[in-house]
Amino acid sequence: MENSGSIRQTVEQELENIRFIDIHTHLFKPSLGALGLWGVDELLTYHYLEAELFRSCDLKPEQYWDLSKPQRAQAIWKTLFVENTPVSESARGVVAVLNAFGLPTEGKEALAEARKFFAEQKLEEHIGRVFELAGISEAVMTNDPLDPNEAPLWEAGTSEHPLFHAVLRLDRILEGWSENWRHVEAKGYKVEACLSGKVLAEVRRFLSDWCVRMRPVYMAVSLPDTFQFPEESTRSHLLSNAVLPVCHEFRIPLSLMIGVRRQVNPAIRLAGDGVGKADLRSLENLCRNFPNNRFLVSLLSRENQHEFCVLARKFRNLMPFGCWWFLNNPSIVEEITRERIEMLGMSFIPQHSDARVLEQVIYKWRNTRRTLAPILANTYSLLVEDGRTVTREQVRADITRLFRKNFENFACINCPIP
Ligand code: RAT
Ligand code: ZN
């Protein structure tokens, strides 16, 4: 491939042909029942759209929360899709999903038609079709062993599903030990609020038992912008003496998503979280002090992204992934991805969907392909200009590395079970 036209075409074709692994979602395998959200009412009541609703109508949050789910969806459709042009990233996403299923994308009647369509779908088949349309082979879930709705389903034994991987989510343990240790105790572990050596051993036993039960591909926690490590805190002790040793034992990475400011505006609930710049020295300390652990990391603040790339150049046990939440907009994805390629080559994971509602993977992955195509094509054009040839096979290998292999290798997906 020598000219930019053929490079662009090849990149687009290869992006289209390769099935990606969606390494972080809030989707659930069907055996976890009602936890898995899908359909048009869920799409419309996504918290990204709820945040936008309150900016474009007079409905107060208290009034909105008093409505039923279909009424909330109706309010959002009317405000953001009928009375306004749905140009924001999340609003456009709903349009793209409806369009992917050949449903009308405008007018008051469109919602009723979409509801009818989704009501007719059989979940298992529908998941297969959605993954096909999204161009993904698997999705990684977020599974919380202390969620009262989820834990009993795992404890009763759920079968593995070929399209879904589990993740052991630690937020309740690491971010709320003082409120949640009693729930760990209630499951038969001798723990208490104060972390003695014996308590930490019991937390390790709890995590190990859940690793055996869930077979997670990694453990994960979402952390505030104020995250510090090391420090004199329960979280720091739990990380050093329970979480990281068990990750090492089970040969799985720890995923850290850093930079959320929880409940900046509690009145709008899940939509009320914000963003703050994190201190990356904490991440540096983790990577250096735990060289035998692997860290799969996403940062929420745009202002952290350059120093994050610098840090990843220092530590091979650090894998940057995704443009998360407020960063998942084409203008910002473009900037971050170019920066990452320029500083890290192909040794990072460009994106995950963070989908909370099944069909969102369709628009989120379509957008990723659309944004990534010109960036990758430009990268190869520069290389050709500088004197190298680029083949279709190389493009295929690079895209496979970015969207599959980097994760498979880092999470040790095909490693022997310990
Ligand atoms: O992106 C989101 O939907 C956020 O609400 C969070 O769930 C975040 O992705 C997380 O995993 O903490
Ligand atoms: Zn998430």
| pLDDT tens, residue by residue, 11-25 | 999 999 999 999 999
> What is the CATH number for 146?
3.20.20.140
Render pLDDT for 143-187 as a digit per residue (tens, 0 to 9).
Answer: 999 999 999 999 999 999 999 999 999 999 999 999 999 999 999
Q: Whose CA is nearest to atom 9 of ligand 1?
A: 354
The stretch 65-74 carries a mean pLDDT of: 98
Question: Do the beta carbons of residue 117 and residue 4 sit within 8 Å?
Answer: no
Q: What is the mean pLDDT of residues 284-289?
A: 98
Closest ligand to Cα 27: 2
CA-to-CA separations, 394 to 10, 43, 381, in angstroms, rounded: 11, 37, 13
Domain count, the chain: 1
3-state secondary structure of 298: strand
pLDDT of residue 125: 97
Q: What is the mean pLDDT of residues 339-358?
A: 98
- CA of 270, closest atom in ligand 1: 5
More confident residue, 400 or 1: 400
Q: Going by CA atoms, what residue is nearest to atom 12 of ligand 1?
A: 222
- The answer as to whether 398 is a domain residue is yes
Does residue 209 surpass a pLDDT of 80? yes
pLDDT in tens, 303-321: 999 999 999 999 999 999 9
Specify if 286 maps to a domain. yes
Give the helix/strand (H/E) hosting 254: strand 254-261
Q: Is residue 21 within 8 Å of residue 407, measured between CB atoms? A: yes
Residue nearest to atom 10 of ligand 1 (CA): 222
298 lines ligand 1 (CB under 6 A): no
H-assigned helices in 30-88: 40-44, 47-56, 61-66, 69-76
**pLDDT for position 3:** 82
* Residue 250: DSSP 8-state: T
Taking CA atoms only, the protein residue closest to ligand 1 atom 3 is 354
- Separation between Cα atoms, residue 126 and residue 146, nearest integer Å: 29
Is-contact 210 243, C-beta < 8 A?
no
Q: Would the CB of 354 count as within 6 Å of ligand 1?
A: yes
Helix axes of 47-56 and 89-100: crossing angle, nearest 10 degrees? 120
Ligand nearest to the CA of 328: 1
Nearest partner of 193 among 206, 211, 204, 180, judged by Cα: 180
Task: Please state, in angstroms and rounded to a whole number, the distance separating the CA atoms of residues 414 and 411.
Answer: 9
Longest pairwise C-alpha distance within the chain: 66
- Across residues 62-79, what is the average pLDDT? 98
Read off φ and ψ for residue 351, nearest 5 degrees.
Answer: -155, 155
Report pLDDT for 416: 62
Neighbours of 183 (CB within 10 A): 18
Is the CB of 356 within 6 Å of ligand 1? yes
Atom of ligand 1 nearest to the CA of 222: 12
For residue 393, report the distance from its CA to the centre of ligand 1, in Å. 35
CB of 227 shorter than 6 A to ligand 1: no
Ligand number, closest to the Cα atom of 224: 1
User: What is residue 417's predicted lDDT score, i.e. its pLDDT?
Assistant: 57
Nearest CA to ligand 1 atom 4: 325
- Quick check: is 312 in a domain? yes
Averaged pLDDT for residues 106-131: 97
Residue nearest to atom 11 of ligand 1 (CA): 222
Give the number of other CB atoms < 10 A from CB of residue 241. Answer: 17
State the closest ligand 1 atom to the C-alpha of 325, by its place in the atom list counted from 1: 1
Atom of ligand 1 minimally distant from the CA of 324: 1
**Residue of 111, 77, 114, 7 lying closest to 390 (CA atoms):** 7
pLDDT of residue 5: 86
Residue 97 falls inside a structural domain: no
Residue whose CB lies within 8 A of the most ligand 1 atoms, among 325, 328, 358, for a mutation test: 325
Mean pLDDT of 130-134: 98
Q: Is residue 417 part of a domain?
A: no
Please indicate, yes or no, if residue 168 is contained in any of the structural domains: yes
d(CA 213, CA 199): 21
Task: Check residue 418 and give its pLDDT.
Answer: 54
Pair 213, 156: CB distance under 8 Å: no
- Residue found under tokens 């990391």: 297
Q: How far is the CA of 325 from the centre of ligand 1 (A)?
A: 7
- Alpha-carbon 185 to chain mean position: 30
Give yes or no for a cis peptide into 104 (omega within 30° of 0): no
Proximal ligand: closest to the CA of 270: 1
pLDDT of residue 127: 98
Q: Would you say the CB of residue 325 lies under 6 angstroms from ligand 1?
A: yes
- Contact (CB, 8 A) for 276 and 225: yes
At 375, is the pLDDT very low, low, confident or very high (cuts 50, 70, 90)? very high
- Calculate the average pLDDT of the chain: 97
If pLDDT is split at 50, 70 and 90, which confidence band does 242 have?
Answer: very high
In a domain, 203, yes or no: yes
| C-alpha 383 to ligand 1 mean position (Å) | 36
How far apart are the CA of 188 and the centre of ligand 2, in A?
Answer: 29
What pLDDT is recorded for position 1? 73
Domain assignment present for residue 418? The answer is no
Q: How far is the CA of 354 from the centre of ligand 1 (A)?
A: 7
Domain range spanning residue 21?
4-44+119-410
Ligand nearest to the CA of 175: 1
Q: Is the CB of 52 under 6 A from ligand 1?
A: no
Alpha helix segments (H runs only) across 303-402? 305-314, 330-344, 360-385, 392-400
